Chain A
Amino acid sequence: GDSVTQTEGLVTVTEGLPVKLNCTYQTTYLTIAFFWYVQYLNEAPQVLLKSSTDNKRTEHQGFHATLHKSSSSFHLQKSSAQLSDSALYYCALSSSGSWQLIFGSGTQLTVMP
C-alpha cells in the first residue's frame, strides 16, 4: 500500500537559519497529490502546501516544496525560520484510488531564539 516517511521526529533550528523537513513516499498510483499540514499547539492541522505537478515549486507563507517523482520526495523548506514556525508538520499523500490521505508520522519543528 501507499506510505509516507518523515525521517525526523524532532527538528530544532535557530531563528533566521534555513530549515528542511524531509518527506519521501511509496505509491503504486500514477495520479497523486501531496500536502504539507501544519499543526500549531492545541490547534487543528491545516493545509500549508499542496502539489500534484512534478518538478514544480509550490510556495506559501514563506515555505516551499517541490514534488520530485524521480526521487519520490516532497521536502518542505524555508530559507529563514521564524519563532512562529514552531509547530508539528505532517506530510501527506492522496492517490487517485483512495478516499483517504496517507499521513507521515509528523515532524515537530522547534525554532529557538
Chain B
Amino acid sequence: DMKVTQMPRYLIKRMGENVLLECGQDMSHETMYWYRQDPGLGLQLIYISYDVDSNSEGDIPKGYRVSRKKREHFSLILDSAKTNQTSVYFCASSLGQGNSDYTFGSGTRLLVI
C-alpha cells in the first residue's frame, strides 16, 4: 500500500521548545515536500527536497529547517517554536518534475502555547 506516513498526528509544545516532525514514504519517490496549512491561506510550501541532502527553500522557510538523510525519510525541524507556527503540517512526495501528482501524509496538528 503506497503511502506517506507522518508522526506524530497531534503535538503540543511550549514556545521556545524544539519541534521535530517526521515523514516517511514507501514509494521511493525522489521529491518530498513540507507544507503548512492555515485557514484562508491554503497550502504554503516550506521546503522541497529533490533527494538525499538536496533541499531547497520554499515560499515560507523562515523559522524552519529540514533534514533528509535517507530517500524515504524527510524531517521538519522548528528550532525554538513560536506561537505563530501553530498550524497543520503536511508532508508530501512525488515522482518529481513534470505532471506528477503528490501523495500527502495525514498531517501533524501542532499547537504552540
Residues of A within 8 Å of B97, CB to CB, are 96-99
- What CA separation (Å) do A98 and B107 show in the bound complex? 24
Residues of B within 8 Å of A9, CB to CB, are 40
Q: Which residues of B contact A (CB under 8 A)?
A: 4, 31, 33, 40-43, 45, 48, 50, 58, 90, 94, 96-102, 104-107
In the complex where A99-B31, A99-B48, A99-B96 touch, is A47 in contact with B43 (Cβ < 8 A)? no
Residue from A44, A96, A106 whose CB has the most chain B CB atoms within 10 Å: A44
Residues of B within 8 Å of A105, CB to CB, are 40-42
**B2 smallest CB distance to A (angstroms):** 12
Q: Residue A52 at the B interface, CB < 8 A?
A: yes
- What CA separation (Å) do A96 and B44 show in the bound complex? 21
Residues of A within 8 Å of B50, CB to CB, are 99
Docked-complex contact A32 and B90, CB < 8 angstroms: no
Residue from A31, A99, A101 whose CB has the most chain B CB atoms within 10 Å: A99
Residues of A within 8 Å of B99, CB to CB, are 31-33, 50, 52, 94, 96
Which one of B42, B98, B105 contacts A96 once the chains associate, using CB atoms below 8 Å? B98
**A102 smallest CB distance to B (angstroms):** 9
**B49 smallest CB distance to A (angstroms):** 10
Docked-complex contact A45 and B104, CB < 8 angstroms: yes
Docked-complex contact A44 and B42, CB < 8 angstroms: no
